[in-house]
Chains A and B, each alone.
Chain A
C-alpha cells in the first residue's frame, strides 16, 4: 500500500508569555492510501495541532511531512493553499461555513476557486447537487446556513470537502457538535467515502467514532503512545469494546 502521508520527527512548539509549550514532540507515523485513521488522546494532547500541521494549515517547528510524495516543508504559502484546495478536504467540528452563501454555494466554492478544475460552472453545480443527493440533503441547497440542523450542516461540510475529489479528507472532531443519530449518519458517510478509496484522517475523542477507523493512533503529551489496528471483520460493537479496553490500557 502506497503511503499518502509520511510524518517524520514532527515537532510543534508554541511560545506563550515567554514560556515554551512543546505540543508535538518528534512524532513519526505514516498513513496509507485508502486508510481511515483515527487520532485520539486526552484534552490538550495535541490532536488538533497534529491535524493542522500535517495538512499545512499550521507551520511545523521541526520535522518532515510528505503528502502524496511532496515534501511540505519547502512549499510556499501559495503552494500549500493550492494543495489544500485541490488535494485535501476539511471537515471541522464547528461546521464552519461562509455565512453569506447558501448551502449549495458553500459546497461548490472550492471547486469554483480551483484552478485545476476545468469543469464549467454548470458542471460544478451539478457535481455539488449529486453529492448533496448522495448525502440526503438536496432540499437544503438554497437555505441559509443558519436555517439547517447541525447534522445537515455537517453533511454539507462533507460535500464541500469532496467537491474537488481530494486524495485525503482531514476531519477535526466531525461529530463533536452532533447528537448520536446525526453522528452515526456522518460516520456512515465517511465510511462510505473511505470504502470508495478516499483516505481519511480524523481526530476524535469518541470511541464509537474511532472504532470505525482502520487504525487508531493514541497521543499523549505530544507523543504517540500507541497504535491500534481495528479488526474489520469484527462487529462494530466488538471493535468498540476492544478499542475501549486498549485505551484503558494506554491510560485513557
Chain B
C-alpha cells in the first residue's frame, strides 16, 4: 500500500487544533458564502462555493473522527482518503483558493475555510504533491530564517511599481496603493467592487503575511476631490 495516504492523514492529524476542528465541524452548508469568493464570482461553478471546497477535507475528517462517519459514511458525507482524491485536492487547495478569508468574514458562523485549505496544503506538501515552485520558495525562506516581514521593503517596491501600472491601465493618475499609510483610495476595495457588493465599513482582509492593504475606514474611503470613487 502506498505511503501517500497515511502520510496525508498524519499531516491532517497534526493540523487538527481547536480552531481547525471548530471550522470543520461548524459549517451548516447554507451556501451563503458563495458570492464572497473571488473564484466563484468569476466562475460560478458549484465546486467553487467555499463550503464545497472545504468539503473535500471535511469528508476525510468525518471518516476519521466522526462516529456517524465511521459507521454510516454515506449518511455523514464521509469518504476514505485515496490518492486520486489527494490529486484532486491540489487544484482545490492551491489553485482555486487564495486563502483571502473573504468567505470567513461573510460566513454567519465564521467558518475559517482558509484554515481548512491550509490543512489541505499541509497534507499535500507532506506527500510531495504541492506545487514545486511554492515549496522551493518556502524552503528558501525557512533555510535563511527569513520572516515575511523582512520582505517588507521589497514588497513596498513591488507595490510602487504596481501603482504605476495600475495608473496606466486605469488612466487615473490619482490612483494610489498605499501599504500601511493613510490616505489614497483602497485598491483592494476598488478591485473587489467589480465583482462584489461592498458597503462602506465592510471589513477587508488585512494582516502581516496576508493582504497588507489599508483597512477600510470611512475617512479613508472618501473620494478624492473631483473624482468619484
Bound together = no
